Structure 1
Amino acid sequence: MKNHDKIATRLAQILNKLNSGERFSVEELVEEFSVTSRTIQRDLNERLSYLPLKKENNLYYLEEYYLGKLNFDDIKNFAALSGVRDLFPSLKEDFLKNVLDATINQAYLIKGHDYEDISGDTETFLCIEMAIINHTVIEFIYNGKLREVKPYKLINTKGIWYLASVEDEKLKTFSFKKISKVTDTDLAFEIDKSVSENIQNSDNTWFSHEPIEVVIKVDAEVSGYFTRRKILPNQTIVKELAEGGLLVSTKVAFDEEILKIVRYWIPHVKIISPVHLQEKLEDILKKYLKL
């Protein structure tokens, strides 16, 4: 789970407590959420500073006039916003107050990807999470085969969970839903900083294969989409063309990883290199047109 997701979950629970009229100490929250007192202090004094909080006998609570003001949707809205701060130009105090206002928050609608349902795999998820935190080797069954890996990160890409881990000294990716019968061996391993940096800095989901560098020509009609955000994994703008188009570079693990994106943008994009990828795309389209 990403750090901002943990923050969002914790804040939502604290908000729910406050909204219900509960009183609690910093120490109680530290024990409940297994975080430091400094983290809880930051939650209360910074992240929730826009609320009318009171402190009495070392217990925090919400001003009486504000009790019950937040409905369940309000709490979910704030929890979501706290986890996607970069989505907005700023998340200042006035903005947060407006978001939690039942009238003003009608101005916002956030649409994202559908997320795969892993609610039935909570124990597996938590077992892997703890192994990542404790740097311990795990075993599991994947595609009918027993695997022994050093787990590094649980990664969510477009709503799908993956496990990035090292097996036989190679960085590999496993689809979480295909993982079963996880066992924590309690065998500690040392984190390889270069592996962590590779995972952190790469836009690719699959680390099991050597990356393929692909250069794509983008027409002027759609170049704005590619300059505003990264359409391609590990996208780099190589050159801005005279007519307003772009040459864009990317690195992918599989042919299909880039072909499916290019198909979406036809006829405004073309693969320049490697040539065999453009030829493969054209063959696929020819076969489709014959159907």
Structure 2
Amino acid sequence: MTQPVIPSCYYWPMSNATEYVSMAPTHRSSSHDKIATRLADILIRLNNGEKLDPHSLAEHFGVTLRTIQRDLLERLAFLPLTKDGHCFVLEPYYLGKLTTGDIHRFAALSGVKDLFPDLDDPFLRELFDSRINQAYLVKGHQYEDLSDKTDEFRHLEQAINQCRLIHFSYKDKTYTGIQPYKLVNHNGIWYLATVHDRQLKAFCFSQLKALQFDEHRFEPDAETLAVIEQEDGIWYNQDKREVVLKVDAGVAHYFKRRNLLPRQTIDKELEDGSLIVSSLVAHDNQILPLIKFWVPNVWIISPDELRQTLLQILGEYVKQ
């Protein structure tokens, strides 16, 4: 029997998630109900911050270890899980964000993934992030240790979600009436993306002092949110300039596999396998550390003053 495929217009609303189970063939619905029930239990444990041992889960549910491994690594592959020894745990900044309704909906969706190929991991991850990730925008794979600022972090998350103005001190300067938009994790460091005096600015979260929360609200600007989410880092200057580089053939595949530079574009692939790559940057320090990382396999073609700056830095380094 040909398996039914759900049109994408039907599986966007989360409220319809439980309907997918009933659309499965009758002789398979019972087994998928059991899967969904087991996945819901696992999601509840993860949401509560428990570290899950696959062997213990297999014994608890009376299933094989392979079944539990499939649950964690395939059916729930859209979750941001990390390994702690031989246990699985949900990323710390996602903990406690799912409601009971959310958990059962995600469990129902995950339980029928093998029936409906359209319900792939990117789709489910997008749904998961849209439900969880209202205040955070993670641009990296490591997290700054904020254990001593947990309360401030949570209150700031609430201010972002409620669109409330904030006030704080930063590098001996007082800022008032700040509009907080996103907590951005860039290369392991948390920044606060804000609008101040009608300009988009980023502040290092750990350096915020005397943080206060206002009862007054602001109306978020859709274009500003788009800029924050599309930017490669925390450099929000609107006046960007182009940097053109030549990338050696020996490392070209890294730049072809994914963008390693801000607003990277591969302009041309030369006969020897090397690349001409362009990047749009708001500040020299946005790209110079990246270029230094790839020296001597990357050369600056233009602008000339940036190339001279790099040569000066390298020259001073050699002298030392």
Fold shared by both chains (TM-score > 0.5) = yes
In 2, are the aligned partners of 1:153 and 1:164 still within 8 Å (CA)? yes
CA distance in 2, matches of 1:248, 1:229: 12
In 1, are the aligned partners of 2:184 and 2:190 still within 8 Å (CA)? yes
CA distance in 1, matches of 2:209, 2:225: 24
Match of 2:213 in 1: 184
CA 1:14–1:128 in 2, change beyond 3 Å: closer, same or farther? closer
**Structure 2 residue 280 is the aligned partner of structure 1 residue 251:** yes
CA distance in 1, matches of 2:179, 2:263: 25
Match of 2:223 in 1: 194
CA distance in 2, matches of 1:125, 1:197: 23
**Percent of pairs identical after alignment?**
39
**Structure 2 residue 108 is the aligned partner of structure 1 residue 45:** yes
1:260-275 counterparts in 2 under 5 A?
Answer: 260-275=289-304
**Structure 2 residue 168 is the aligned partner of structure 1 residue 134:** no
CA 1:12–1:36 in 2, change beyond 3 Å: closer, same or farther? closer
CA 1:220–1:44 in 2, change beyond 3 Å: closer, same or farther? same
CA distance in 2, matches of 1:15, 1:141: 33
Unaligned ranges ≥5, structure 1: 1-7, 22-31, 51-84, 92-111
CA 1:13–1:37 in 2, change beyond 3 Å: closer, same or farther? closer
**Structure 2 residue 42 is the aligned partner of structure 1 residue 12:** no
CA 1:284–1:134 in 2, change beyond 3 Å: closer, same or farther? same
Paired letter, 2:109: E
CA 1:259–1:42 in 2, change beyond 3 Å: closer, same or farther? same
In 1, are the aligned partners of 2:43 and 2:107 still within 8 Å (CA)? no
CA distance in 1, matches of 2:284, 2:48: 46
CA 1:289–1:136 in 2, change beyond 3 Å: closer, same or farther? same
In 1, are the aligned partners of 2:49 and 2:96 still within 8 Å (CA)? no
Where in structure 1 do 4 or more consecutive aligned residues deviate above 4 Å? 8-11, 32-38, 47-50
Unaligned ranges ≥5, structure 2: 1-41, 61-94, 114-120, 126-139
**Aligned residue among 244, 257, 261 for 1:232:** 261
Paired letter, 2:165: V
CA 1:177–1:13 in 2, change beyond 3 Å: closer, same or farther? same
- What TM-score does the superposition give when structure 1 sets the normalisation length? 0.66
1:1-291 counterparts in 2 under 5 A?
Answer: 12-14=46-48, 16=50, 38-47=101-110, 114-148=142-176, 149-208=178-237, 210-291=239-320
